[in-house]
Amino acid sequence: AQTVTQSQPEMSVQEAETVTLSCTYDTSENNYYLFWYKQPPSRQMILVIRQEAYKQQNATENRFSVNFQKAAKSFSLKISDSQLGDTAMYFCALTNAGKSTFGDGTTLTVKP
């Protein structure tokens, strides 16, 4: 069985500041992929960033980057220059062999 844990139910950050959301996981597999999804109040699920477990280099997408520590089974998301539109629930997910496991989510509020 695979598990994903997001230990921060809620976080807040000032506009233009940087925030890091935590995620830890557990799996017995070697070949898996990690994702961060954003779910704004509209409830639409939007892919933010993904990381292949076999790649050591951390993924980056504009203001979003990850800190992937495979040995520690940690996959945190850093949002730089936070914008009001980043306010949303963020889900960490692990996918292996077509099965995806999601964390319980972190509600991020960006304050003006």
Q: Which residues bind another protein (CB under 8 A)?
A: 31-33, 37, 42-47, 50, 52, 91, 93, 95-105
Least Å distance, CB 41 to another protein, is: 13
Nearer to another protein, 9 or 18 (CB): 9
Residue 44 has a CB neighbour count (10 Å cut-off) of 10
Least Å distance, CB 80 to another protein, is: 22
Contacts of 29 (CB under 8 A, 6+ apart): 2, 96, 97
Report d(CA 74, CA 85) in Å as an integer.
26
The sign of the dihedral angle between the CA atoms of 18, 87, 57, 31 is positive
Least Å distance, CB 59 to another protein, is: 12
Nearer to another protein, 15 or 104 (CB): 104
Nearer to another protein, 56 or 112 (CB): 56
Nearer to another protein, 27 or 65 (CB): 27
- Could you identify the residue written with the tokens 């062999």? 97
